[in-house]
Structure 1
Amino acid sequence: MKLSKLFARKSKSEETEVAERKSKTREWLDAMVFAVIAATVIRGLLFSAYAIPTGSMEGTLLTGDYLFVSKLSYGPRMPITPVSIPFLESRLGESKIKTYWEGIKLPYFRLPGLGEVNRGDVVVFNYPPDSDNPVDMRVHYIKRCLGIPGDVVSMRDSRVYINNQLFKNAPEAQSSFLVSTDGNGINPELLKDLNIEIFQQVNTTDYIMIIPPASFDDFKSRNNIKSITEVITPHGVYDENVFPQSKLFRWNQDNFGPLTIPAKGWTVRLNDTTMALYRTAIEVYENNKVEKSAGKFFINGKTAETYTFKMNYYWMMGDNRHNSEDSRYWGFVPEDHIVGKAMVTWLSTDKDASPLDKIRWSRILRGIN
């Protein structure tokens, strides 16, 4: 082949074809980049979609519900860890592979929102004890806010009191009951129809069950049901798993408090009792070094008799009271962990249902209260 042939100039039609091919590729790339940027902005500033993996909020929210969560309700939180892979959790599956880079960390800042976190709101937040990850990369939890900054929260025989006033349960909140039967078996289809869950079988006749309020009277009227008694851990019975995990406070999941929720600007006197309650907030969430020596407390190397909080805090609990890991076990939720307000269920699926019944049509586009 002649050299002149090897280096022959392309025809105009060939050049046009290559240019069009490059133009179409560029258009696709531009569209993909724009879509990623737009989705990231919407997810970061306006709303995000989340799925419910557990039953801690039943019967308000069901396992398999998919939610839209408003960032505007409380103000969008600006990224604290800005370098991360969009739309992924902090770790890939069960592995330890991170989807973010900690080389750049920004201070906590939140844009103005439409309002504040209120009692009764269903809130998505980052799980405070997840200390292996930065605040905005921590696992997402969803619970109902029962206490806001400055409130005094307590529980008496499974009833929540805020500022010494009984706090009304959510309409579909659930609790557990000891069910005594006459020994005859309980029809599994009946339990399924009434959305009743067997939590534990105590013996051949007695069960601990989680019963929705709407199903209680129907279930109790059945011939083989002898009695139904609400399960309540008595006052004074110490549960080492319940916040603050200190024998100074003999609290349990049904009886605890009174406990003041820290508010920004609130000053607390430091002693063994208050440090049992607030040390994690002071040391971990507000990034102070706390030490005790010769009966005195030191914060960042300086003697301290009091401490003034820099952030607001909240008390979050699940509606399924005896099947929820919440503030009763790990304490306060700092304001910089708040993600947004759950607004609407846009889809709901039942993994145990038949293919034709997988979708719970009655829950689609259902508001969350």
Structure 2
Amino acid sequence: MSKSEISTPTAVKKPWYREYAEALFVAAILALIIRTFVVQAFKIPSGSMEDTLLIGDHLLVNKFLYGVQVPFVDGRYLTIRHPERGDVIVFEFPEDEGKNFFQRRDFIKRIVGLPGDTVEVLDKKVLVNGEPYQIPQEIHKENNIVAPGFGPRDFMPAIEVPEGHYFVMGDNRDRSYDSRFWGFVEESKIKGLAFIKYWSWDSQASWLKKIRWNRLGRPIE
């Protein structure tokens, strides 16, 4: 056979709809991997973290800083650091334990007590290990004092944070349902660190003021 008689097979072009479907499939897989292990978007539905986070703020959560969580596998892997006091975290609400997947809620609060710390609330003031703990972000919108015996909002006896757990509070201290009421957050329930506000929408404002431009791209402190 002469050289001129040798033919090379020609590539068969895929139909456009198949190429489109494959591209969508790859994009969906990448998005799922990023959402599961790297970063996830959340929206703020309540005012418990005002004025740090407002209703309608959209934020991104770093999911690998505290270690990668593999679905259906216990433990964390490739941990960069553990949660620290002052971190704003997203976590699975402890009281939703045992509910089906669609009934579980995500909460966002700030870490106040670390494992081994003693946390106490006296007349609205927070004490950690016997020392006052006050941060610039905290606010109080209620003038009244809830007396001891009528709820833990303003008076809570000293409690020790168990190993592997965290005590969290909302920055809007008088209007936050947090560890004072339902206890501690297990480290395995923490989804990640909230680190930036990428969008903010005020549904109550006029159309020209609905976008809170001054909050876009701002780090969460």
Q: CA deviation at 1:132?
A: 3.9
Q: 1:51 aligns with which of 25, 43, 54?
A: 43
Query: Is residue 256 from structure 1 mapped to residue 156 from structure 2 by the alignment?
Result: yes
Aligned AA for 1:345? K
Partner residue in 1 for 2:3: none
Retained in 1: the 8 A contact 2:198–2:217? yes
Aligned mates of 2:128, 2:214 — CA distance in 1: 33
> Within 1, Cα distance between the matches of 2:99 and 2:18?
37
The Cα shift of 1:25 comes to: 1.5
| Structure 1 letter corresponding to 2:183 | G
Q: How many residues end up aligned between the 2 structures? A: 211
2:214 counterpart letter in structure 1: S
Paired residue type of 2:154: D
In structure 2, what residue type is equivalent to 1:260? E
Aligned to 2:4: none
Give the counterpart letter for 1:339 in structure 2: K
Alpha-carbon distance in 1 for matches of 2:99, 2:20 = 35
Match of 2:87 in 1: 121
Q: Aligned-pair distance for 1:159? A: 0.8
Which runs of at least 4 in structure 1 moved beyond 3 Å after TM superposition? 134-137
Give the TM-score taking structure 2 as reference length.
0.89
- 1:332 pairs, out of 155, 162, 184, with 184
Partners in 2 of 1:66 and 1:232 — Cα distance?
A: 33
SS, match of residue 214 in structure 2 = helix
Q: Partner letter of residue 142 of structure 1?
A: I
Q: CA deviation at 1:112?
A: 2.1
Unaligned segments of structure 1, at least 5 residues = 1-18, 80-105, 178-229, 243-251, 264-311
> Residue 40 of structure 1 aligns with which residue?
32
The partner residue of 2:145 within 232, 236, 242 is 232
8 Å contact kept, 1:161–1:167: yes
Do 1:135 and 1:337's aligned partners in 2 also have CA atoms closer than 8 Å? no
Computed over aligned residues only, the root mean square deviation of the Cα atoms, in angstroms, reads 1.9
For structure 2, the residue ranges without an aligned partner over 5 or more in a row are 1-11
User: Using the alignment, how far apart are the partners of 2:220 and 2:129 within structure 1?
Assistant: 25
Are 1:175 and 1:322, in contact at CA under 8 Å, matched by a contact in 2?
A: yes
Aligned 8 A contact 2:96 2:103 in 1: no
Asked whether the equivalents of residues 126 and 135 of structure 1 are also in contact (C-alpha less than 8 Å), the reply is no
Counterpart residue number, 2:129: 163
Partner of 1:361: 213
Identity of counterpart residues, as a percentage? 39
Q: Which residue of 2 aligns with 1:154?
A: 120
Residue 139 of structure 2 is aligned to residue 174 of structure 1: yes
The DSSP-based 3-state class of the residue aligned with 1:44 is helix
SS of 2:126's equivalent in the other structure is strand
- The equivalent of 1:133 in structure 2 is 99
Query: TM-score, normalization: structure 1?
Result: 0.55
Report whether the alignment pairs 1:348 with 2:185: no
